[in-house]
Structure 1
Amino acid sequence: MPNPEVDIESLLHDGRGVAHIDGKAVFVSGALPGERVRIQYGKRRRAYDEARVEEFLTRSPDRIEPRCPHFGGCGGCAFQHLPAERQIEAKQNVLAENFERIGKVSPQRWLPPLSDQPWGYRRKGRLSVKWVEKKGKVVVGFREDNPRFIADLSVCHTLLPEVGQRIEALSALIGSMDAKSDIAQIEIAAGDDTVALVFRNLIPLSDGDRQKLIAFGQHHQLAILLQPKGPDSVHALWPEQIDLRFRIADANVDIAFEPLDFIQVNAGMNQRMIRQTLNLLDVKPDDVVLDLFCGLGNFTLPIARQVASVVGVEGDEGLVMRAGRNAESNHVENAFFHAADLLQNHATSSWARGSYSKMLLDPPRSGAAAVFEYLPRKGTNRIVYVSCHPGSLARDAGILVNQHGFSLVEAGVMDMFPHTAHVESIALFIR
């Protein structure tokens, strides 16, 4: 019996096309809405089946040739076969569907999508590394869709070119080392002027290996660091002093950070996102603002330039310490930082009992539902929520609207991760 033909009806959030056979959903990798394809089944599940395209019978007019030769095998990107403007439309559809299905809410107005350069934007990332005996080489790349395997990359067009164009050079470098079987990953961290690579070495390196890494860094002007154990073990190999920082031009603020610190992955989008956030907060000189999940002060310090005071709260004590240093180095005296696990109830904490006119949330994927057990307090009538997961934003929007008397006034998507399935979004709530 030949493999079935199906019509692709819509897109999943992860870039797979959706079809139905006898009422059962089939998720088809690599297919776009409007296409008719012959499929080959993969995993069969109770609620849905998975498949891949065996043959295209009709193609979507939106389909383009992927820029990367590894697209479809590497799990880093999901949408390179769609133009950037269609990608962002698909992501807004995902956000709208989540609002309706999970939160039972919808925004009064949709914000125009925010986007920036679609290629060579990624200044943070983690490349997996593995010596593969059968190939006789070190494989360097992101995980495949099956996370047990590493995509054997020669290039990555989403990474900064300083790294993305040197994947093969990194493979050859590690392959020449005594410790070629004992380098597990490479963490990438780039500031405005420095690109750093952190090599996770599972064993102490020989002098020869250390010299090879130093020579590589010097030749390509890349800072080289080692991580022999946990995050606290990271140390510079070359040069001895490494200064990572990025500038937020609108606010005249420099943010210094450590190589493993969280920063927004896309520098250009970060600038646009901060500008959008301050506009939605509608900050005034007499405002007192609460910034939760504040990290290094990425939003806190720009806000401080325009308000009476701002309080930033973050669970990572190291980030809080560095946020305070960033305030000092930028001569910001009206930003105050606290370390607190925001997944716990802090109703009695001094910072939570303060009076805030406005609040900013930028939580992890799990969202901010725990915060709403004790916040927002009376007098906080405007909230801006920056989200990296549409499902948790939709859930939390339902809480704010249905339990705290807010309206979801505006919402929109921001293309922080072009070509990937990641959906970054922003929403304004007014009481």
Structure 2
Amino acid sequence: MSKKSRPTKGKDSARKHREQPSSVRDEREYPVAKNEEYEAEIIGLTHDGEGVGRVNGFTLFVAGALPGERARVKVLKVKKQYGYAKLLNVLEASPDRIAAPCPIFDQCGGCQLQHLSYEAQLRHKRQIVVDALERIGKLPVAGVGADDTSAAGAIPVHPVIGMPNPWNYRNKAQVPLGEVEGGLVGGFYAQGSHRIIDMDACMIQHEANDDVISKVKEIASSLGISAYKEETGEGLLRHVVAKIGFRTGEIMVVLVVNGDKLPQQEAFVDSIREAIPGVKSICMNRNTRQTNVIFGDRTDVLWGSETIYDYIGDIKFAISARSFYQVNPVQTEVLYRTALDYAALTGGETVIDAYCGIGTISLFLAQHAGRVYGVEIVAEAIADARRNAALNGLANVDFAVGKAEEIIPTWRADGITPDVIVVDPPRKGCEPELLDTMLAMRPERIVYVSCNPATLARDLRVLVDGGYRVEEVTPVDMFPHTVHVESVTQLVKNETGRGNA
């Protein structure tokens, strides 16, 4: 054991553990022991944003530590091949370490990377994509720069497209409420728990959403309205959801309640209208189930309109209380324009958009395609998609409700032959049946928009083995200061058989 890796206490105890017979040995025989302190070398960063530390050749995951650092850590948990440790202090800091500007960064679980410079965040996110393609997809990835000597067929993974100003980018806040002596608290959950960290402002939220949350807490407290208690199922106000149209400035307030009525409803609504001049819609959603799902099934408009409006590029979208709408409209336009570029439309193509949601990508594509077919399992989203198509005067779009893997084969049976298929699946990736259907339909190009590099890599392996070639991948930073990364991948039909090796 090297000097720097010795624990600061418990040496005699550790010696006794080594002398025990194998029949009674347990985790104490590992190179580290629970509750002991060590000096760790941090050699990497996980996809969850934890530092990967090494002590005596043993791996410890250390929240808050960064690659290239030496740190004093305390072991919290030991497993067979790895453990978890708490960062006590940084002995030698990474040049990429910065002081997190948010005052509750160490408590709140919303951001994981504020202590890492933005340039380093972008490099890390590209590496997440590269690692997934290589390890999970077994796909060759090209290096970066003019000196790259990668083999022919290696996939270019471009630098992550970041934001000029990576703050105040979220257009939606969903804030749980709780009670303390003297009033209500509202904020995000502490990491790994359901303990609410009260906040006055969130640095990645649009300032208008911060104002809505603050004002609603004040109004509810003044009216004596109780907060929901998750442990008992009692109390009324569960969440406040605030939405803002970045381009229009229109604001929607949604009160999620544990009941059928809102006490002093008229006074509550009037107070919100007076306190928040830009509000266009005030809604109440009923959720009486003991669940951590935010929304219930019924939403009523208490005042104003059913929707607010916003734009992505020159496409106008109606946003209702429960409709899905990308939370970073600035980067959404970057993401969708990349998808449009990869689709390489000339004006007459037939396009299928699987997992189309409220039609955001579909409408982008419809401006440049002959016909677009969108499918989505959520009926309310398809209703929004149809409304958005009409709102923008786009008549060359058809939408269907159902599972993509069930609807698209029926389109194929009806003679619909796509030139391009675009998929934007949830984190679990594409269903195997959908991948099989895409391979059977043999479009010229597939554009895969992904929010999960692991399932992207898994699905790309299937498509490559089925005769497609991955041309390039462009990651986009939709959620600065978090560990999440989205990406757009272009695949082209390979007439000679298999794609990338």
TM-score (norm 1): 0.92
Q: Does 1:43 align with 2:91?
A: no
Which residue is 2:202 aligned to?
Answer: 156
Q: Does 1:114 align with 2:161?
A: yes
8 Å CA contact 2:219, 2:268 repeated in 1 = yes
Q: Does 1:428 align with 2:490?
A: yes
Q: 2:172 aligns with which of 118, 121, 124?
A: 124
Which residue is 1:8 aligned to?
Answer: 42
**Paired AA for residue 156 in structure 1:** C
Q: Does 1:271 align with 2:333?
A: yes
8 Å CA contact 2:39, 2:55 repeated in 1 = no
Q: Secondary structure at the match of 2:364?
A: helix
Q: Secondary structure at the match of 2:111?
A: coil
**Paired AA for residue 352 in structure 2:** L
Which residue is 1:286 aligned to?
Answer: 348
Aligned residue pair count? 425
* Residue pairs, 1:305-316, within 5 angstroms: 305-316=367-378
Q: Secondary structure at the match of 2:198?
A: coil
Q: Does 1:30 align with 2:90?
A: no
Q: Secondary structure at the match of 1:74?
A: coil
Which residue is 1:89 aligned to?
Answer: 123
- Residue 190 to residue 376, structure 1, CA distance change in 2 (3 Å): farther
Q: Does 1:214 align with 2:260?
A: no
Separation of aligned partners in 2, 1:413 and 1:155: 29
Q: Secondary structure at the match of 1:400?
A: helix
Which residue is 1:326 aligned to?
Answer: 388
8 Å CA contact 1:140, 1:170 repeated in 2 = no
- List per-residue Cα deviations over 1:124-146 (Å, max 9, x = no partner): 232111113xx544221111112
Alpha-carbon deviation of 1:224? 2.7
**Paired AA for residue 31 in structure 1:** A
Separation of aligned partners in 1, 2:158 and 2:90: 35
- List per-residue Cα deviations over 1:85-128 (Å, max 9, x = no partner): 21111111111111111111145212232222311111123211
- Residue 37 to residue 353, structure 1, CA distance change in 2 (3 Å): farther
Runs of 4+ in 1 over 6 A off after TM superposition: none
Q: Bigger radius of gyration, 1 or 2?
A: 2
Separation of aligned partners in 2, 1:304 and 1:346: 18
8 Å CA contact 1:105, 1:408 repeated in 2 = no
Q: Does 1:141 align with 2:187?
A: yes
5+ long unaligned stretches in structure 2: 1-6, 9-36, 142-154, 228-235, 288-294, 494-501
Alpha-carbon deviation of 1:269? 0.5
- Residue 15 to residue 379, structure 1, CA distance change in 2 (3 Å): closer
Separation of aligned partners in 1, 2:407 and 2:336: 28
TM-score (norm 2): 0.80
Q: 2:426 aligns with which of 364, 374, 377?
A: 364
How much identity, in percent, do the aligned residues show? Answer: 30
Q: Secondary structure at the match of 2:87?
A: strand
Alpha-carbon deviation of 1:307? 1.2
Separation of aligned partners in 2, 1:11 and 1:343: 36
- Residue 345 to residue 244, structure 1, CA distance change in 2 (3 Å): closer
5+ long unaligned stretches in structure 1: none
8 Å CA contact 1:407, 1:429 repeated in 2 = yes
8 Å CA contact 1:311, 1:351 repeated in 2 = no
- Residue 47 to residue 126, structure 1, CA distance change in 2 (3 Å): farther
8 Å CA contact 1:231, 1:260 repeated in 2 = no
Most deviating of 198-207 and 260-269: 198-207
8 Å CA contact 2:126, 2:159 repeated in 1 = no
**Paired AA for residue 482 in structure 2:** T
8 Å CA contact 1:280, 1:384 repeated in 2 = yes
**Which structure is higher in RCO with an 8 Å CA cutoff and minimum separation 6?**
1
Q: Secondary structure at the match of 1:299?
A: helix
Q: Does 1:98 align with 2:163?
A: no
- List per-residue Cα deviations over 1:306-360 (Å, max 9, x = no partner): 1111111111111112211221221111111111113558534557852011111
Separation of aligned partners in 2, 1:39 and 1:75: 21
Which residue is 1:243 aligned to?
Answer: 307
Separation of aligned partners in 1, 2:414 and 2:333: 28
8 Å CA contact 1:194, 1:243 repeated in 2 = no
Q: Secondary structure at the match of 1:374?
A: helix
Which residue is 2:239 aligned to?
Answer: 185
Q: Secondary structure at the match of 1:421?
A: coil
Separation of aligned partners in 2, 1:225 and 1:330: 25
8 Å CA contact 2:171, 2:209 repeated in 1 = no
- List per-residue Cα deviations over 1:284-322 (Å, max 9, x = no partner): 112111111111110111211111111111111111122
